[in-house]
Amino acid sequence: MIPELVSFVTRREGRKFRHLSPAVGDSIINGEELGGKGGISLYVHIPFCRSLCPFCCFNRYLFDEDLARRYYIDLKKELELYIRRGFSFSSIYFGGGTPTVLMDELSSFIRYLRAQFNVSEVSLETTPRELTEQNIGLLKEMGINRLSIGVQSFEEPVLKTMGRVNGPADEVKSRLLMAEGQFDTLNVDFVFNFPGQTIEQFTADVAAFKELGIDQATFYPLMASPHKKDAMERKFNRVDNSREQQFYGVITRELYRGGYKASTAWCFSRGERMIDEYIIEFDDYIGIGSGSVSIVRGNFFVNSFSLDRYHELAGAGRLPIVGWRKLSEKENLRYYLLTKLFGMKLDIEALRRRFGNNAQSKLWTELAFFKTFGLVSGNGVLHVTGKGMYPVSVMMRDFFAALNTLREHCIEHQI
């Protein structure tokens, strides 16, 4: 009943992020005015992959070297526009797509970032196929601090259903072990509740992860936008959210037993210096690249998903933003609440500093709901309880699913 209720409210809130003004003047983003001198992280989207997984809702295209080289030139141009507006970044996240498809360009772009900013932390996503000895060496040379590998599953039948090309599970495991200990944080991604995936298969994945002795894993509930959901259901089986809580139970039970702590509702870590997802650590972030989004002081910006349009705009010295929404005060507060609860705690003092002394009263209904049903506990800092973790996971899933619908629309219409 509680998961259904939070799901309903989050989907309604998430849909609002899809109502965008078609374009914005370049003057709207100004780093100094918006606090760009600190506390903002940079997300860099690299939208190329060697093969396209059918379930994936991110902006991605088949790798083409010429297009990718042109893309890096455009990325630099886009970044320069932010530098001119007074932005500076210390924490940088490369996501995709597959950021390692063109290592020489990646390396020179990171060198450029380091020359511009005082970079303290670089995170990067890649796939098991890209995790070669040579690439690990290069990524270390580039100073990557957190490396995240999308394994999705070690189970052959699950990967086959997903249409995911990973190579044999034993090879994937030995590649992960080769990377273990080489970075401050090594993270492995899994997907759960995929149509046809059994609880036994997922339990085996979690056990295999623990056996490898890696310090961090992120478990993504399958997030299917309506289009993808239809396509998947035609191809495989029903996307059944009623099984999701059972999968989630496996995660919490097995990870806690293994000495891991939840750093988000999906990410479990152990050890000293674990770096989490940028959405949690930073209230504001700028996304550059085709199909990335930015959140800056209650403004939501969407970049063009079309590689050609992105090239056209960035190449002409314009921000490639094609959609913008100024969140209302309530939307902004609810987005803040969602991201903080996803990160397992809400600091009331930090909430007040950001939104003013009466921010708590403006979130009275939401906070009363979470407290009354025992989903959070504490006073000055509210912590998500064991009972609250699954509802929080549902909230984030539905928020991302709403964004996926936006992504799908933009990709389909090449906006």
Ligand X SMILES: C[S@@+](CC[C@H](N)C(=O)[O-])C[C@H]1O[C@@H](n2cnc3c(N)ncnc32)[C@H](O)[C@@H]1O
In whole angstroms, the minimum distance from the beta carbon of 126 to ligand X comes to 6
Question: Of 96-104, 133-141, 346-354, 381-389, which part binds ligand SF4 (CB under 6 A)?
Answer: 96-104
Find which of ligand X, ligand SF4, none residue 189 binds, CB within 5 to 8 Å per kind: ligand X
Number of residues near ligand SF4 (by CB under 6 A)? 11
User: Six-digit token pair at 306?
Assistant: 């079309």
In whole angstroms, the minimum distance from the beta carbon of 381 to ligand X comes to 29
Torsion sign across C-alpha atoms 9, 290, 77, 23: negative
For the segment 34-63, give every residue that binds ligand X (CB under 6 A). 49, 55-58
Position 96 contacts ligand X (CB under 6 A)? yes
Type of residue found at 164 = R
Distance between CA 171 and CA 261 in Å, rounded?
28
Q: Report CA dihedral (364, 369, 372, 373) to the nearest 10 degrees.
A: -160
Nearest residue relative to ligand SF4 (C-beta): 56
- Integer angstrom CA distances of residue 228 from 199, 231, 232: 23, 5, 6
Find which of ligand SF4, ligand X, none residue 52 binds, CB within 5 to 8 Å per kind: ligand SF4
- Residue of the chain from 14, 36, 150, 289 that contacts ligand X (CB under 6 A): 150
What secondary structure does DSSP assign to 207-252, as a single string?
Answer: HHHHHHT-SEEEEEEP---HHHHHHHHHHS----GGGHHHHHHHHH
For the segment 223-242, give every residue that binds ligand X (CB under 6 A). 223
Binding marks (x or -) toward ligand X, 356..385, rule CB under 6 A?
Answer: ------------------------------
Distance between CA 345 and CA 343 in Å, rounded?
6
- Residue of the chain from 31, 96, 320, 343 that contacts ligand SF4 (CB under 6 A): 96
Interacting residues of 74 by C-beta distance below 8 A, sequence separation 6+: 310, 311, 314, 315, 320
- Integer angstrom CA distances of residue 313 from 74, 179, 291, 316: 9, 38, 13, 5
Nearer to ligand SF4, 49 or 75 (CB): 49
Nearer to ligand SF4, 96 or 287 (CB): 96
For the segment 125-144, give every residue that binds ligand SF4 (CB under 6 A). 127
User: Of 250, 253, 279, nearest to 264 (Cα)?
Assistant: 279
Position 52 contacts ligand SF4 (CB under 6 A)? yes
Interacting residues of 111 by C-beta distance below 8 A, sequence separation 6+: none
In whole angstroms, the minimum distance from the beta carbon of 254 to ligand SF4 comes to 24
Please state the separation of Cα 379 from the chain's center in Å. 29
Position 44 contacts ligand SF4 (CB under 6 A)? no
Report the interface residues with ligand X, using CB under 6 A: 49, 55-58, 96-98, 125, 127, 150, 152, 189, 191, 220, 222-223
Report the interface residues with ligand SF4, using CB under 6 A: 49, 52-53, 56, 58, 60, 96-98, 127, 150
